Amino acid sequence: MTDMTGKTVMITGASRGIGEAAARIFAEAGANVALLARSEDRIAEIAGEIGKQAVAIPCDISRYWEVETAVKSVVDAFGRLDVFIGNAGVLEPIVHLETADPEEWGHVIDVNLKGVFNGVRATMPVMLAAGGGTIINISSGAAHRPLEAWSAYCASKAGAAMVTSSAHLEGADRGLRVMGLSPGTVATQMQRDIKASGINPVSQLEWEDHVPPDWPARTLLWMCGPEADAYLGQEVSLRDDDVRRRVGLVA
């Protein structure tokens, strides 16, 4: 396990799924963790379970000023910010383009794309001033291919992947470690929503086809160590058996 003692990690979308699992796993590795989400009560509950090394910060990542304020709160609480994990994301509306509601479609862009930009924009200056840091954004296979009725999700994830690549291009020579993680399908509420839609091949997968949330969470921890340096500026895919072995998820 990568030792994160004394390091501070900020995680968006930390109220459930991958974000919650990551908060717990990073805390187990010794890190201070800041949990960001709109679900104020839930992140407060999780932070309370983790203990004094965790803080809960209610935040709507689609609003830059809220993210910027959250970053300042993290630095005030722990004195530093070493890792930012842009995990928060939404899928719905699952709808065909010709019937999509423009406001609902735009909301996905606000959260999945602008939210990633807001996180990168607010954390990069802090990390650069400190001499470096790690930024990992959660990507998806949907960033690279269209899926029926997922136009907003696919477009937002494609844009977020480009923000990640741009951050690497602009920050790598100044100490930033920037990567994406494509976790594949994960056993979270999002997959239940996808299943209920009955649209496109992803909805046909069975529950046992999905990986547990602790797999991407453990991979995020591994990506913060030097073993992952070969992937800087790239997208780590949990569909890759070699990655799974490197992380220690499979023999």
* Residue of 163, 157, 60, 83 lying closest to 117 (CA atoms): 163
Residue among 247, 66, 79, 61 nearest 156 (CA): 61
Q: Single out the catalytic residue among 153, 194, 217, 243.
A: 153
Q: What DSSP line would sit under 144-167, residue for residue?
A: TS--TT-HHHHHHHHHHHHHHHHH
Distance (Å, whole) CA 138 – CA 18: 10
Phi/psi at 91 (5° precision): -105, -45
153 given a catalytic annotation:
yes
* Rounded Cα–Cα distance for residues 198 and 61 (Å): 29
Q: Which residues are catalytic?
A: 153
